[in-house]
Amino acid sequence: MKKRPSRLWLLFYGRQRRGVPYLLIGIVLAIVVFALLFAIPGGADYSRAVIGFFLGLLIVAIVAAFVVTLLFPRRRR
């Protein structure tokens, strides 16, 4: 009977990736920032403003990426 691979192994299965995993770094950084924010007194109140700012920035980045893809479509190989 063949042993099934673990769930952790399945995250890294497939084609080899190149470059820096910016999304993973961003998520870890966001977790650290919010953990430090909740560590200070009154930080829970500030977190509402920070998440609002972050979501607004995310929406602006999505719209900008959409406009860039409309203006500069990918070339076919």
pTM of this prediction? 0.50
Q: How sure is the predictor about 66, in pLDDT bands with cuts at 50, 70 and 90?
A: very high
Asked whether the beta carbons of 20 and 7 are under 8 A apart, the reply is: no
Q: What is the dihedral of CA 26, 62, 64, 71, to 10 degrees?
A: 120
pLDDT tens for 36-57 read 888 888 877 887 887 888 889 9
Q: How sure is the predictor about 60, in pLDDT bands with cuts at 50, 70 and 90?
A: very high
Q: Domain locations in the chain? A: 20-71
Which of the 8 DSSP states describes residue 73? P
